[in-house]
Structure 1
Amino acid sequence: MADVKIPLLGKTLSEIQGIVHGLGMPGFTAKQIVAWLYDKKVFSIDDMTNLSLKNRERLKENYEIGATAPIHEMRSVDGTVKYLFCTPEGDYIESVYIPDEDRATLCVSSQVGCKMNCKFCMTGKQGYTNSLTPTQILNQIYSIPERDKLTNIVFMGMGEPFDNLDAVLRSLEILTADYGYAWSPKRITVSTVGLRKGLERFLEESDCHLAVSLHSPFPAQRRELMPAEKAFSITEIIDILRHYDFSKQRRLSFEYIVFKGVNDSMLYAKELIKLLRGLDCRINLIRFHAIPNVDLEGTDMESMLAFRDYLTQHGVFATIRASRGEDIFAACGMLSTAKRQAEKNKETN
C-alpha cells in the first residue's frame, strides 16, 4: 500500500510556511503555493510551474493537493445540482449547487451525519459518523465544475457546523483571507441549531453571516422537533444574540421550516414577533418537503404567504425561500442515505 500523502488543500498560509521551512525551501515559495491552491486552483503539484523542479519533487514526496472529484451527481430541471463525495474513510457527504438568476450558491456539509437528530432532517436519521477536515470541507467547493461561478457559500448541508467549529473556522479563514479565496464574509452564511460555546466563539472569531434554526417559538415544542433545545434553549440563544450588533457587518437570520398544522398558524407568528422583538434580523420561511418515516407535512402556499405577511406587517422582515431541486431530493441527507442503503443491500444479497 502506497504511503498516504498529506493534503495541501485546507492548509492556511502559516501552515504552508511551516511546511516550506521544514523542507528547506525559500520562504517566498509559501505564497506561491497558496496562490496555486486558492487562486489558480491546480490539481497537481506538477502544475506549480514557478516552483523549481527540485522543490516540486521535494514537496511531492509527502504532500499532494488533496482534491477529489464528486463520485455522483444529480441534476434538476431547475438547474440545481446535487453532488455526492466520498471521504478517504469511505463515508458519503453531499453538496448542493443552487443557481438563481445572478446568484450561484453552494450548500456545503461539515460532518458525516449529525448528532443533533432533528425530527425533520434526513441527515439526523443517519446518526453521527465523523467530522470533516478543512480539506474535505473546501474540496466540496474546489472540485465542482461550477466553482468559478459561485457567489455565495452556505454551511447548511450535512452536520452541525458548531459541532466541528475548528475545521469550519479554518475553512472560513481560507475563504476570506487575502492569501486564500479573498471572499467577503458577507458572501458566506453559517447555519446552526445553537450550541452555546460554538455560537459565542463564532461571533467573536468570524464576521460571516449567521442563521439559527428556530422552527418553533415555544421551547417545549422546539424540544420535540430539535433535541438540542434541551441543552441550549432558544431563549438563551436570543439572549446572547441581543448583545451583538448585527446592523452593519453581519446578517442574522432565523430558519423556520413551516409544518402543516404544527407551526403555521397566526398564534406562532404572534409568538415569533414577541420572541424576536428588538433584534435586527430576518426570518426565512421554508416549506417542508416530506422525508421517509416522519409524520410531518409541508403547509400550503396560502398559509405561507399569510404567515410571511403577518410577520412583515408587524416589524419582522420575512421571506419565503423558493423550493429548489425537488425532483432530485435536494434536502440534506437524501442522496447519501440512498447510497448507504444501496451498499447495505448489495452486501446482504
Structure 2
Amino acid sequence: MFNAYENDTSANEPKYIETTTPEGKVNFYSMTLEDLKAFLKGKGKEQFRAQQIFKWVYEQRVTDVEKMSNLSKSFRQEIPDILSFDLPPVLKHLKSIDGTQKFLFDVKGGNSVEAVLIPSDDRLTLCISSEVGCNMACKFCFTGKQKLKRRLTTEEIVGQFMQVHDRLEPGQRISNIVFMGMGEPLDNPEAVFKSIEVLHSPWGMMLSRRKITVSTSGLVPQIKLVADAKVRLAVSLNGSNDEIRSRVMPINKKYPLKQLLDACREYTRVTKDRITFEYVLLKGVTDQMEHAREVVQLLKGIPSKINIIPFNEHPGSGYERPSDEQIEKFHTELIKLGAHVLLRRTMGRDIYAACGQLTTVKDRPETMDISNSKIGGTNERHFGSGQPRL
C-alpha cells in the first residue's frame, strides 16, 4: 500500500519499492487520511484515531506523541514503533535580494532536491520538486543536465511543503503550490497526486485545488490525470512549431504539438479551466516576431494565458537571454495579437532559484550577478488587451 520509487541499478528505469524505515516504520507524511485509517485498522486500532493524529500533525503541528492528549497513554506508547514523523532535512537555505528563498533538502542516498518560496503582493507560492534530476533533457533547463536518479516519495514531496511551512514568519501562509521544480511531475504521478490529496485534504493543509498547479513538459497521456485531480495545468510550450520545440525539448519528438494541444483542448473541455502555457525566450531561437505570431495561431481556440519567461542563464546552457528591449518587443507583439499574456517577473535569479535554474549537480554555482538586466527587477505584471486576470 505504501510505495515509492527507488533507483534500480540493474535497469534504466527506477523501480517501485515499499516505503518503510529500516526499523519497519511507515512515514506519516506518506499517507492520506484513508491510508492511515487502513493502516491503523490493520494494527487493530479504531479508524477515528487517524483523524485525531492528522489534526495534531497538520493543524496543530504537533509530532511529539506525548502531547497528543486525546490519545490513550497505551496508544501513545505504540505510535513511535509504527510511525515516523521525519521530514527531509534542510541542508541549505538561501535568500535572494528580491525576497525569494531557496531550500536544499536531503533525500537520502547522497541525493538532494531544491524547492523555492516565491513572494508577491497577494500570494506566497512554493515551487516543489518531484524528482532527483529529470529524464526530459530540455536544453534550456539546468535540471535537464542532471539525469534522473530517482523519483521522490510522497513524504519527500509533502515534506518539502512542511519544512518550508514550519519556517514561515508569524502571519505568513503558503497560498499556492506549483509542481515546477526539479523533475517532470507527470513522470512521477502516483507520488505527486497522492501528495496533492494530503495537502488539499481538510484534515491536511486545506489547500484549495485551484491554488495547486501541475506543470508538464508534454507527457500527453498523463494530462488526463491533472484534470481528474481537479488542479490547474501548466504546459511548457517553449517552441512555436515542431521543428523548434523538438530542438529545445526532446519530448516533442514523441508527443508533437498536435497531440499535445489536442490533450490541452480536452483538459479545458472537461475542467472549464484555462491552461497556462509557459514560453521561454531564448535569444535568436524563440524570441522573434514570427514566433509570437505562430504561438498565437497555435493556441487559437484554447482557453489559456501565456507566461513569457526570459531565459535564466546557467553554466553550459549554450543559450542566451534576449535583451530587455527584445523581451518587451515580443511581449508587446503578443498583446497586439490579442493574446492573454503575462511577462513573468524573474524571481530568485541571483541565487539560481529562477525558472530553469534548479539543480543539485556537483559544483553548481550559488549566486550570479543580475545587475545588467532591468526585466524582472520590478513587480509589474503585464496582461494583454483587456483580458481578465487569472
Q: Do the structures match in fold with TM over 0.5?
A: yes
The corresponding residue for 1:263 is 286
1:32-90 deviations in Å (ceiling 9; x for gaps): 11112322233433332321221122121121112233111111111111000011323
Moved more, 190-199 or 1-10: 1-10
Q: Where does structure 1 lack aligned partners over 5 or more consecutive residues? A: 343-349
SS across alignment from 2:240: coil
Moved more, 158-167 or 1-10: 1-10
SS across alignment from 1:84: strand
Q: Give the 3 Å change call, closer, same or farther, for CA 340–268 of structure 1 in structure 2.
A: closer
The corresponding residue for 2:360 is 336
Q: What is the CA distance between 1:157 and its match in structure 2?
A: 0.2
Counterpart amino acid of residue 161 in structure 1: P
Q: What is the CA distance between 1:213 and its match in structure 2?
A: 0.3
Counterpart amino acid of residue 137 in structure 1: I
Q: Measure the CA separation in 2 of the matches of 1:20 and 1:133.
A: 21
Instruction: Find the partner of 2:83 among 28, 43, 63.
Output: 63
SS across alignment from 1:316: coil
Q: What is the CA distance between 1:333 and its match in structure 2?
A: 5.5
The corresponding residue for 2:192 is 168
The corresponding residue for 2:246 is 223
Q: Give the 3 Å change call, closer, same or farther, for CA 143–47 of structure 1 in structure 2.
A: farther
SS across alignment from 1:245: helix
Instruction: Find the partner of 1:93 among 93, 97, 113.
Output: 113
Counterpart amino acid of residue 158 in structure 1: M
Q: Where does structure 2 lack aligned partners over 5 or more consecutive residues? A: 1-20, 367-390
Q: Measure the CA separation in 2 of the matches of 1:154 and 1:98.
A: 10
After TM superposition, list the pairs within 5 Å mapping 1:1-349 onto structure 2: 3=23, 5-144=25-164, 145-146=167-168, 149-203=173-227, 205-245=228-268, 250-331=273-354, 332=356, 334=358, 336-338=360-362
Q: What is the CA distance between 1:184 and its match in structure 2?
A: 1.1
Moved more, 206-215 or 172-181: 172-181
Counterpart amino acid of residue 338 in structure 2: G
SS across alignment from 1:323: coil
Q: What is the CA distance between 1:334 and its match in structure 2?
A: 4.4
Q: What is the CA distance between 1:23 and its match in structure 2?
A: 2.0
Q: Measure the CA separation in 2 of the matches of 1:275 and 1:29.
A: 52
Q: Measure the CA separation in 2 of the matches of 1:251 and 1:38.
A: 31
Q: Which structure's residues are more often helix, by fraction?
A: 1
Q: Give the 3 Å change call, closer, same or farther, for CA 2–10 of structure 1 in structure 2.
A: closer
Counterpart amino acid of residue 240 in structure 2: P
SS across alignment from 1:171: helix
Contact 2:312 2:357 in 1 (8 A): no
SS across alignment from 2:108: coil
SS across alignment from 1:244: helix
**How many equivalent residue pairs?**
341
Q: Give the 3 Å change call, closer, same or farther, for CA 109–99 of structure 1 in structure 2.
A: same
Percentage of identical aligned residues: 35
